[in-house]
């Protein structure tokens, strides 16, 4: 029988391995004993501010050692954390704060002007330089709870809003905990490992790193902002052994390295958040990079599928096989299970699946058997590997046939010189909708649009061929580097309108 309560993994390590390094940054390094005392100090701040079990606190700040301590202090006091993206506009910050009902706001110093207008009580979240090892003795409290309820609300994390207004995803501590357990079973972390936390903590992929490291008793290197030179230095020095990235980040790292092979101390590159281009896959194979592709979402507290180190290179185009503590099915529109290699909707259920959406009826979110419909399209192959094809709401009908943008994008990504590509559907009087292909080239490479079209003609059906191919210098982005498709649609409509006016 699963426990209802567990001992906080940070506290457990502070007792069993007090001198082991728990957290590092450019400015400081703390042992598990020191991190535990820092957590207790933040718990004292929450208590002084009048926070009680079930209250919610907002955080608008970059990654820092203090942010890590605050996360675990909130969980230990029964307070729910609402990490809010620093990339949002102030009006969006206020919307997230009001929708989640935050009673207290932690914010970094450079955003205090906004904070005064938020209507919340404020606490300034200091940077790493404030947490020297000698200062972490302050605030130790032996009465502070060591236990955490698995079914308590731990966080409200907002989605990137690919389908419109960002949704508040309510996650329990158990969701985070069981997801980390399953990930660790797949990656087999060692106590001397160090996972780079460069993904922002307002993103579930960033926060999940903290749980994995604490459970394994290894360390985390906290970085605020993506700095290719600094990360490559940490890789070459052997400081970091594991890193979580999205494809655009990996592409930037490889470009800065000029195809230098990383040392063997870098054992895992967990890659998710979008498809790889054909050129990136070639680079991964040439350099024998330890890339493990993965699939997950905010609603499942991070990854639910991943490759393992024993998987073959020819499975790199997949997202791996299901991890523990979750079930995954591919279903038809009516709900029955789809056949192997048939692209249909991905549904999930299990211990890592969220509690519900903020302000929405749970019965509308899950079916009677507890399955959550992700809105993603994919299939399982004959070996049980998941292949994610895109979003259900991105599919469209052209000339009476279903068009899946990912099929066109996959073909285009294999053309030499294409770094990234995205298909957008545009209204068409004759066909209903037609695909328009946006492409970004690799560096200064000569990307010939007529040659690309000829290439696609040999790989796609006539109905799939793009109506237009538009070369773009840089894709608009949101969240942790995801391409902003809504912005691309706006750009396309403006271009069509301007041509109509000419």
Contact call for residues 221 and 25 (beta carbons, < 8 A):
yes
The 8-class DSSP code of residue 308 comes to -
Between 485 and 495, name the one with better pLDDT: 485
The fraction of the chain above a pLDDT of 70, given in percent, is: 91
- According to the model, what pLDDT value does residue 193 have? 98
Among the listed ranges 86-90, 194-198, 377-381, which one has the minimum average pLDDT value? 86-90
- According to the model, what pLDDT value does residue 400 have? 79
Closest CA to 447 of 416, 469, 424: 416
Residue linked to tokens 């979008």: 274
Answer yes or no: is pLDDT of 413 > 60.
Answer: yes
- Report the C-alpha gap between 160 and 200 in whole angstroms: 13
Between 157 and 440, name the one with better pLDDT: 157
- Report the C-alpha gap between 354 and 156 in whole angstroms: 10
Answer yes or no: is pLDDT of 501 > 60.
Answer: no
Q: For residue 62, what are its two tokens? A: 């970059």
Contact call for residues 84 and 22 (beta carbons, < 8 A):
no
Answer yes or no: is pLDDT of 498 > 70.
Answer: no
Quick: pLDDT tens for 126-184.
766 455 444 444 445 555 789 999 999 999 999 865 445 789 999 999 999 999 999 99
Residue linked to tokens 């281009």: 277
Task: Identify the structural domains of the chain with CATH numbers, from first to last.
Answer: 5-387 (3.40.50.12780), 395-501 (3.30.300.30)
- According to the model, what pLDDT value does residue 114 have? 72
Quick: pLDDT tens for 18-42.
999 999 999 999 999 999 999 999 9
- According to the model, what pLDDT value does residue 402 have? 79
pTM: 0.87
Quick: pLDDT tens for 343-385.
889 999 999 999 999 988 877 789 999 999 999 999 999 999 9
Q: Which residues pair with 220 in a beta bridge?
A: 23, 195
Torsion of CA 35, 38, 39, 40, to 10 degrees: 130
- According to the model, what pLDDT value does residue 135 have? 46
In terms of DSSP H, where are the helices of 274-350? 278-287
Q: Which residues contact 366 (CB under 8 A, 6 or more apart)?
A: 349, 372
Quick: pLDDT tens for 206-251.
999 999 999 999 999 999 999 999 999 999 999 999 999 988 899 8
């Amino acid at each position: 029988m699963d426990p209802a309560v567990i001992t906080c993994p940070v506290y457990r390590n502070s007792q069993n391995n007090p001198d082991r390094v728990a957290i590092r940054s450019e400015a400081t390094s703390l042992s598990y004993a020191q991190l535990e005392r820092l957590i207790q100090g933040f718990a004292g701040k929450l208590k002084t501010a009048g926070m009680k079990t079930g209250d919610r606190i907002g955080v608008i700040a970059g990654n820092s050692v203090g942010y890590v301590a605050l996360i675990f202090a909130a969980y230990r006091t029964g307070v729910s954390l609402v990490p809010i993206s620093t990339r949002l506009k102030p009006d969006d910050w206020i919307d997230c704060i009001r929708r989640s009902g935050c009673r207290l706001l932690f914010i970094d110093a450079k955003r205090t002007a906004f904070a005064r207008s938020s209507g919340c009580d404020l606490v300034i979240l200091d940077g790493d330089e404030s947490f020297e090892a000698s200062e972490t003795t302050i605030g130790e409290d032996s009465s502070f709870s060591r236990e955490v309820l698995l079914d308590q609300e731990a966080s409200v994390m907002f989605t990137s809003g690919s389908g419109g207004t960002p949704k508040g995803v309510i996650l329990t501590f158990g969701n985070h905990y069981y997801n980390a357990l399953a990930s660790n079973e797949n990656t087999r972390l060692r106590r001397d490992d160090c996972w780079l936390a460069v993904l922002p903590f307002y993103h579930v992929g960033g926060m999940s790193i903290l749980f994995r490291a604490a459970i394994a008793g290894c360390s985390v290197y906290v970085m605020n902002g993506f700095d290719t030179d600094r990360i490559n230095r940490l890789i070459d020095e052997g400081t970091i052994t594991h890193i979580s990235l999205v494809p655009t980040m990996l592409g930037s790292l490889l470009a800065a390295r000029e195809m230098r092979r990383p040392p063997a101390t870098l054992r895992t590159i967990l890659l998710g958040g979008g498809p790889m281009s054909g050129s990136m896959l070639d680079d991964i194979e040439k350099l024998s990079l330890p890339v493990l592709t993965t699939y997950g979402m905010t609603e499942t507290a991070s990854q639910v599928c991943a490759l393992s180190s024993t998987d073959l290179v020819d499975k790199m185009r997949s997202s791996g096989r299901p991890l523990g503590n979750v079930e995954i099915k591919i279903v038809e529109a009516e709900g029955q299970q789809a056949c192997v290699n048939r692209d249909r909707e991905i549904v999930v259920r299990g211990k890592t699946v969220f509690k519900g959406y903020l302000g929405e009826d749970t019965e509308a979110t899950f079916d009677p058997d507890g399955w959550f419909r992700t809105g993603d399209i994919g299939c399982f192959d004959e070996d049980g590997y998941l292949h994610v094809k895109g979003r259900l709401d991105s599919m469209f009908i052209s000339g009476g046939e279903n068009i899946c943008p990912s099929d066109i994008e996959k073909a285009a990504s294999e053309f030499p010189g294409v770094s990234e590509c995205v298909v957008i559907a545009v209204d068409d009087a004759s066909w209903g909708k037609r695909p328009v292909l946006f492409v970004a080239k690799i560096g200064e490479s000569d990307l010939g649009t007529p040659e690309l079209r000829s290439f696609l003609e040999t790989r796609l059906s006539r109905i799939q061929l793009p109506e237009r191919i538009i070369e773009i210098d840089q894709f608009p982005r949101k969240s942790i580097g995801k391409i902003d498709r809504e912005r691309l649609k706006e750009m396309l409509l403006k271009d069509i309108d301007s041509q109509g006016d000419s």
